[in-house]
Every structure is written in structure tokens, then in C-alpha cells.
């Protein structure tokens, strides 16, 4: 019986592959028929059009019509218009076929006939497929599951979820970038994932109705009941079990495998360009996540991709150093975000033309794309970190991408060795935490360096897309104040490449060009040395406002309003903490436990000023209650307790003012809102 099912499945996959091959053959034949018209030189087309017009005029003269200059002009305009319309239709059909070819080739590469596929057919009503990679997420996987089960204003058949369970087939090798500590974290994550991926798979299969031992808590079983009742469709792609792992196994390859499956389901089953949403296995999505995705792409059909709103939730034991590191990580993230956005849109090149390549920074925890376009750009790069922004940049090269505040998620603010050592929010926090402990500064690229490299990259993209280039133009592009950033040999290599390259991917795959690009970056950095992140942020704001003086008043208004609001919240925190200490210091603190402290807080919540929500949050936060016990037992007076609490709870009880990193964060957020 089992063998017969396997044979049926093999036949089905072989049929799909043959259908792809057949369709690809037809497309290639059609594309070949376009080659003359599509690639013809413009001057040849113009000569042919003029010849046709003169032929038409001769025919009219032979028929006895008098052809004056005005009549000749009207006939010329009419035929020119008809000719342009025809050319546009031909080009549109050519582009459609070329794009379909790219989709099929992407599917053939990423879903060969050896690959196991999801057997359940796509619901005809499905418009969104959510792809979630999993790499040792047992403690977090209920976050996306539960939040997706609670979606509002949509039906369960409007979307489905694909979990891609992924881990390497063997112990990961140490990369050149990893320190001893980094590599030990990588190994620990790998060993943890071997166990936890099996546990996650069992949970997902149990939700889908299979008999499995899942070892869940009472609360988790209630959540499973809620998920089952929601009737959302959950699929599993197993790239974690023995014999199923991928040759390239990382977060990028896991995302790409899920995206390929989603593309195939829309293209081969529904024949419709659906939407692919990507998030993470430790992330909660907003209750109107799916609804707002559908609304966004319905209202903006020109969009090929979007980056949603990202919020962070503290998941690990409270650590003042990690909180402080989180501020630096947020500031650095905002700095890259503002420079990517600002220098792509608002900077002018030497001839005064606006650069048109806005760069929207994608994050894997919340990124959206149309299915066909996802395949056309080659899917998600198979990289261990940095795959998400690169995927966004790929999409931006073929269509419009943007940020959206409406599609929102809350991701776990925690360290994880799932990504490369220089990628990801958790890795950023580790880097800054180590700098804080070592009393050292962290540096970033000068804003002028970011601007110059943005200009160079933009012009290179335009040249590869067809803009003319010679040595003089190259020198104008890759230079500072008339001085070329390339030596003689490099100039020749780069020019030869730009004059022959047909696609930006050729640049990304050329080691010699990448090495030259690295050297150019180093030369620029000597001219514009790196700055401390605080100084770089301040300089960025100063440059932007100097160039755009009309924004100054609005910027200050938004920044000051945000600071007043935040300081108002801090004053409330100070008042509540003081009231909390007043209440607790009246009690016996010698034998106080977390449970007894919580009862005191609960019974005196009105006097302290705690809301029901804050009480519920405290009940869940065992780490904070333990810290409070320690604080109270080791403080002789309320004043000492307040001072120690202020030192520990970074930023909770101190007002924001200039020179404070929180001031810099608010300033960059304010700037981002108006540029």
C-alpha cells in the first residue's frame, strides 16, 4: 500500500516536471520569434516607420488626394502613435513570457523531482501564504501559531501557513568571522535544534490530527485546542530529519524553500499571483495581520514587496547591560534605515538628477512579496543572515517596494545563534553588550561615505540596465572631488565589465569585481573615517536639516512631542515605583517570596497605580519579581532601594535629555517620519 502511494506521488511530481519542461519549450519558441522586433536598433525601427508613412502618402496621392504639410503631419502622428502602441504591446508580451520563463526556471531549480512536496491542494480562496522557518524554536513556536489562529476580519481559507523545519545535516564548520565564543554558540544552537525541531514537528503534526507524543503544558494544550478550532491550514516542510536536510542549510535556504513551495502552489495550482508573507517562529503577528496584507496589496497593485512594522518583546532575564545594548542596537538599526531611505531618495548627483532607487530595508520577521515576483528575482538568497534585506533589494530592482506600519508583528527580543555573527538584531545586541562591558565604543560608516556609496551603486545599476558609459563617465561616477577611486588597471576592468554586463547578478558573482568594490570602500573610509554611532546619528540629522531647512520646524515639533510623551510616561513610572516602595516597606520583608510580593502588589494596585494589565504582566514576569525581592531584602531604606532600582531599570526612572542615547533614537525616528 505504502509503495503504491509513493509511486503515485512520484508519478505526480514527474508529471509536474514534464509540464514545466513543455511550457518552457513553448515559451522559448515564442521568445525566439520576438528576437528581431524586440532587440532591433531604434534607428532601424524609425527608418521602417518613416518608410511606411511615405508609402501611405504615395498611395493617397495616387488616389487623387492633395497632401498638404498639415495633412502630412497628422498622418505621420497617427502612424507614429499606432507604431508605438504596437511596439508596447509586443514588448509587454515579450516581458510576460520572459518573466514566466524565470518563474519556471526558479521552480525547476528549487523544486526538482527529487523534492518532497505538500500534497494538500491549495484552497481556491487562498490569497496569502505565510512562510515560517524553524531552527530550534520549541519555546516560541506557539507565538506565531496562536496569533495566526486569532486573525480577525478574514476567513481561515483566505490564508495558509508553511513551516520549514531546517537544520544542517552535520555539525556546522567554524567560519572565519567567528570567535571561540561565537562558534560555541553556533554549536550549542545546532545541538539544541536537533532535539527541538523534532518536538516542533510533533506539535505541528498533532495539531494536524496525527497521534504524537508532544509533552505540552496545560496552557499549551489549551492553545492547541484554539488553533484546531480556528481551522487554519498548517503545512510542514521537513528539512531537518535525517536524509531530508538541504545541501545549503541556513535561514536563507529555509526561507527560500518555503517561498518556492508557495510560488508553485499559486502558479501551478491556482494560476494566480498570490502574496507571500514571511515571518519568524518566535514572532507574534497582529490580529489583523492577514487582513491588512490583503488590504495593502489590493489598494496598491503596483507593489511587488513591502516591509512591515517590527516591534520587539523582551524574552530573556532582565539584564541592565543587555537593555543598554538594546538601545545602541536600535540606534544603529535606525541609522542604517534612515541613510538607506534618505540617500536613495533625496541625495542629488553631480548633474542634479534625483536618484530613483529607494531602498526599503526588509526584515525576515515581517516581509511581504508577490509570489511571481519572488520567483522572478530568484527567491530568497541562501545565506546565514542578511538574506532578508538582500531579498528586498532584489525586489526593488524590478518594481515598487515600500514600508507599511499597518502590517505589524512583535518579535522576540533575544540573542540567537541562528544567523551569522554580523547579522540580526540579537547579534547586534551581543556586539554592543560586549563593547559596554569592555568600555569600548562601537563605530559605523560616516553619513558622507554612505551617501557616496549609494550614488555609486545607483549609477552602476542604471548602467547595467542600459545607460551609456565610457571611461570619462566612469571616472565621474567613482571619484571624490575629481580624484578617481580606481587605479588604472581597475578602471579598465570595471569599464569592460559595465559595458558587457546584462544583469546585476553578474556583479554579485564576480570575485574580481567584488574585491575591487571592497578596495573602493576602504579608500572612501580613509577619506570619511568611521564615527561613533552617537556622533554619526547626530551628523546625519545635521546634514539632512541643512539640506532641507523647510523640515527643521516639523522635525523639532515631532521630536519634542515624542520626548514630552516619553518623559510623561517616565514620571508616571517614578510615581508608581515610589508608591510601590511605600507599600512594600510597611510589610515584613525578611521572609518575602515572589508569591507573597505579588499578592501585596495585587491587593494594593489602586494605591500604587497599577492597571489590571500591568498586574497580569508582573505575574508572568518571574525574573522581575525575583529582582524586586533581592532589591527589597538588600536595601535598608526606601531611598537606597529607589537608587538601586534606578541603576538597574535602565531608562525607566530617568528623564530623556540631549546627550542621552534615547534622545538620539527619538531624533532619528522623528527624522524617518518626515523624509
What is the rounded distance in angstroms from the CA atom of residue 610 to the CA atom of residue 95? 61
Contacts of 371 (CB under 8 A, 6+ apart): 129, 262, 263, 266, 267, 273, 274, 275, 276
Cell output for 179: 570567535
Higher pLDDT, 111 or 53: 111
Confirm if 394 and 305 have CB atoms less than 8 A apart. Answer: no
Neighbours of 88 (CB within 10 A): 10
Confirm if 133 and 274 have CB atoms less than 8 A apart. Answer: no
- Is residue 454 over pLDDT 60? yes
pLDDT in tens, 383-405: 877 889 889 989 988 999 998 98
Confirm if 232 and 197 have CB atoms less than 8 A apart. Answer: no
- Is residue 511 over pLDDT 80? yes
Confirm if 137 and 281 have CB atoms less than 8 A apart. Answer: yes
DSSP structure class, residue 348: B
What is the rounded distance in angstroms from the CA atom of residue 282 to the CA atom of residue 629? 30
pLDDT above 70 covers a percentage of the chain that reads: 85
Strands (E), 182-227: none
Mean pLDDT in residue range 20-25: 85
Mean pLDDT in residue range 622-640: 85
Cell output for 508: 554579485
Confirm if 276 and 265 have CB atoms less than 8 A apart. Answer: no
Mean pLDDT in residue range 629-635: 86
What was the pLDDT predicted at 85?
A: 63
CA distances from 491 to 239, 470, 526 (A): 45, 10, 20
What was the pLDDT predicted at 422?
A: 47
Of 150-164, 169-183, 233-247, give the range with the top mean pLDDT. 150-164
What is the rounded distance in angstroms from the CA atom of residue 500 to the CA atom of residue 439? 50
pLDDT above 90 covers a percentage of the chain that reads: 44
Higher pLDDT, 7 or 273: 273
Cell output for 101: 520563463
Angle subtended by helix axes 42-62 and 69-110, to nearest 10: 140
- Is residue 315 over pLDDT 70? no
DSSP structure class, residue 541: H
- Is residue 40 over pLDDT 50? no
- The three-state secondary structure class of 60 is helix
Mean pLDDT in residue range 279-299: 96
- Is residue 249 over pLDDT 50? yes
Beta bridge partners of 218: none
What angle (nearest 5°) sits at the alpha carbon of residue 454, between those of residues 450 and 458? Answer: 175
Confirm if 379 and 249 have CB atoms less than 8 A apart. Answer: no
Higher pLDDT, 41 or 152: 152
- Is residue 86 over pLDDT 80? no
- Mean pLDDT is lowest, of 205-214, 316-325, 410-419, for 410-419
Of 96-100, 141-145, 396-400, 518-522, give the range with the top mean pLDDT. 141-145
Mean pLDDT in residue range 371-381: 96
Higher pLDDT, 235 or 318: 235
What was the pLDDT predicted at 310?
A: 86
What is the rounded distance in angstroms from the CA atom of residue 417 to the CA atom of residue 609? 40
Higher pLDDT, 204 or 20: 204
Mean pLDDT in residue range 484-512: 85
Contacts of 182 (CB under 8 A, 6+ apart): 417, 421
What was the pLDDT predicted at 346?
A: 41
Angle subtended by helix axes 387-398 and 251-264, to nearest 10: 40
- Is residue 154 over pLDDT 80? yes
What is the rounded distance in angstroms from the CA atom of residue 486 to the CA atom of residue 539? 28
- Is residue 280 over pLDDT 50? yes
What was the pLDDT predicted at 2?
A: 43
- Is residue 45 over pLDDT 70? no
Beta bridge partners of 352: none
What is the rounded distance in angstroms from the CA atom of residue 188 to the CA atom of residue 191? 5
Confirm if 372 and 273 have CB atoms less than 8 A apart. Answer: yes
Mean pLDDT in residue range 312-327: 74
- Is residue 368 over pLDDT 90? yes
- Is residue 415 over pLDDT 60? no
Q: Which residue has the cell 536600535?
A: 330
Higher pLDDT, 662 or 182: 662
CA distances from 615 to 143, 271, 315, 610, 618 (A): 21, 51, 18, 6, 5
Q: What is the average pLDDT value for the chain, to the nearest integer? A: 84
- Mean pLDDT is lowest, of 53-62, 222-231, 475-484, for 53-62
Higher pLDDT, 650 or 446: 446
* Band (354; pLDDT cuts 50, 70, 90): very low
What was the pLDDT predicted at 237?
A: 97
DSSP structure class, residue 386: S
Largest CA distance in the chain: 116
What is the rounded distance in angstroms from the CA atom of residue 609 to the CA atom of residue 438? 39
* Band (591; pLDDT cuts 50, 70, 90): confident
Q: Which residue has the cell 526606601?
A: 638
What was the pLDDT predicted at 355?
A: 33
DSSP structure class, residue 175: P
What is the rounded distance in angstroms from the CA atom of residue 231 to the CA atom of residue 204? 13
What was the pLDDT predicted at 4?
A: 45
Q: Which residue has the cell 551617501?
A: 451
Amino acid at each position: 500500500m505504502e509503495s503504491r502511494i509513493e509511486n503515485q506521488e512520484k508519478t505526480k511530481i514527474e508529471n509536474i516536471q514534464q509540464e514545466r519542461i513543455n511550457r518552457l519549450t513553448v515559451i522559448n519558441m515564442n521568445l525566439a520569434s520576438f528576437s528581431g522586433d524586440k532587440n532591433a536598433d531604434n534607428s532601424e525601427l524609425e527608418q521602417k516607420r518613416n518608410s511606411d508613412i511615405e508609402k501611405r502618402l504615395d498611395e493617397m496621392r495616387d488616389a487623387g488626394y492633395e497632401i498638404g504639410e498639415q495633412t502630412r503631419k497628422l498622418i505621420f502622428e497617427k502612424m507614429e502613435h499606432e507604431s508605438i502602441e504596437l511596439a508596447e504591446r509586443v514588448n509587454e508580451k515579450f516581458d510576460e513570457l520572459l518573466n514566466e520563463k524565470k518563474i519556471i526556471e526558479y521552480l525547476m531549480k528549487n523544486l526538482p523531482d527529487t523534492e518532497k512536496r505538500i500534497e494538500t491542494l491549495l484552497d481556491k480562496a487562498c490569497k496569502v501564504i505565510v512562510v515560517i522557518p524553524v531552527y530550534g524554536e520549541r519555546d516560541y513556536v506557539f507565538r506565531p501559531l496562536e496569533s495566526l489562529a486569532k486573525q480577525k476580519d478574514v476567513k481561515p481559507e483566505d490564508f495558509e501557513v508553511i513551516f520549514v523545519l531546517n537544520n544542517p545535516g552535520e555539525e556546522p564548520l567554524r567560519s572565519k568571522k567567528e570567535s571561540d565564543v561565537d562558534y560555541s554558540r553556533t554549536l550549542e544552537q545546532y545541538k539544541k535544534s536537533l532535539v527541538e525541531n523534532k518536538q516542533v514537528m510533533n506539535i505541528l503534526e498533532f495539531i494536524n490530527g496525527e497521534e504524537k507524543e508532544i509533552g505540552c503544558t496545560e496552557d499549551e494544550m489549551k492553545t492547541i485546542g484554539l488553533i484546531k478550532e480556528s481551522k487554519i491550514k498548517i503545512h510542514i516542510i521537513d528539512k531537518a530529519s535525517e536524509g531530508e536536510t538541504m545541501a545549503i542549510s541556513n535561514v536563507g535556504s529555509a526561507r527560500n524553500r518555503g517561498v518556492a513551495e508557495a510560488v508553485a502552489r499559486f502558479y501551478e495550482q491556482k494560476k494566480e499571483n498570490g502574496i507571500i508573507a514571511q515571518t519568524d517562529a518566535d514572532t507574534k503577528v497582529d490580529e489583523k495581520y492577514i487582513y491588512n496584507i490583503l488590504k495593502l496589496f489590493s489598494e496598491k497593485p503596483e507593489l511587488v514587496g513591502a516591509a512591515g512594522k517590527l516591534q520587539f518583546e523582551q524574552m530573556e532575564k532582565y539584564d541592565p547591560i543587555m537593555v543598554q545594548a538594546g538601545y545602541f542596537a536600535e540606534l544603529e538599526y535606525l541609522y542604517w534605515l534612515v541613510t538607506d531611505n534618505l540617500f536613495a531618495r533625496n541625495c542629488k548627483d553631480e548633474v542634479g538628477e534625483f536618484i530613483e532607487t529607494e531602498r526599503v530595508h526588509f526584515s525576515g520577521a515581517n516581509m511581504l512579496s508577490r509570489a511571481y515576483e519572488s520567483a522572478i528575482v530568484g527567491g530568497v538568497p541562501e545565506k546565514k543572515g542578511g538574506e532578508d534585506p538582500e531579498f528586498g533589494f532584489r525586489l526593488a530592482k524590478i518594481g515598487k517596494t515600500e514600508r507599511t506600519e499597518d502590517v505589524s508583528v512583535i518579535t522576540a527580543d533575544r540573542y540567537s545563534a541562528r544567523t551569522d555573527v554580523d547579522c540580526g538584531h540579537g547579534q547586534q545586541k551581543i556586539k554592543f553588550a560586549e563593547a559596554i562591558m569592555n568600555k569600548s565604543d562601537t563605530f559605523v560608516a560616516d553619513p558622507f561615505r554612505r551617501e557616496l556609496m549609494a550614488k555609486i551603486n545607483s549609477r552602476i545599476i542604471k548602467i547595467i540596465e542600459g545607460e551609456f558609459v565610457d571611461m570619462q563617465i566612469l571616472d565621474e561616477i567613482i571619484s571624490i572631488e575629481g580624484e578617481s577611486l580606481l587605479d588604472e588597471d581597475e578602471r579598465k576592468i570595471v569599464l569592460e565589465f559595465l559595458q558587457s554586463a546584462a544583469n546585476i547578478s553578474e556583479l554579485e558573482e564576480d570575485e574580481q569585481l567584488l574585491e575591487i568594490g571592497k578596495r573602493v570602500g576602504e579608500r572612501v573610509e580613509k577619506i570619511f573615517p568611521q564615527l561613533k554611532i552617537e556622533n554619526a546619528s547626530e551628523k546625519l540629522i545635521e546634514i539632512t536639516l541643512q539640506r532641507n531647512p523647510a523640515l527643521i520646524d516639523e522635525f523639532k515639533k515631532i521630536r519634542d512631542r515624542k520626548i514630552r510623551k516619553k518623559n510623561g510616561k517616565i514620571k508616571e513610572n517614578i510615581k508608581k515605583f515610589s508608591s510601590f516602595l511605600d507599600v512594600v516597606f510597611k510589610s515584613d520583608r525578611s521572609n518575602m517570596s515572589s508569591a507573597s510580593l505579588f499578592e501585596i502588589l495585587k491587593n494594593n494596585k489602586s494605591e500604587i497605580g497599577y492597571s489590571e494589565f500591568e498586574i497580569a504582566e508582573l505575574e508572568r514576569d518571574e525574573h522581575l519579581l525575583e529582582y524586586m525581592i533581592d532589591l527589597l531584602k538588600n536595601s535598608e531604606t526606601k531611598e537606597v532601594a529607589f537608587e538601586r532600582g534606578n541603576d538597574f531599570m535602565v531608562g525607566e526612572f530617568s528623564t530623556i535629555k540631549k546627550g542621552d542615547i534615547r534622545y538620539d533614537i527619538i531624533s532619528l525616528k522623528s527624522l524617518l517620519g518626515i523624509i
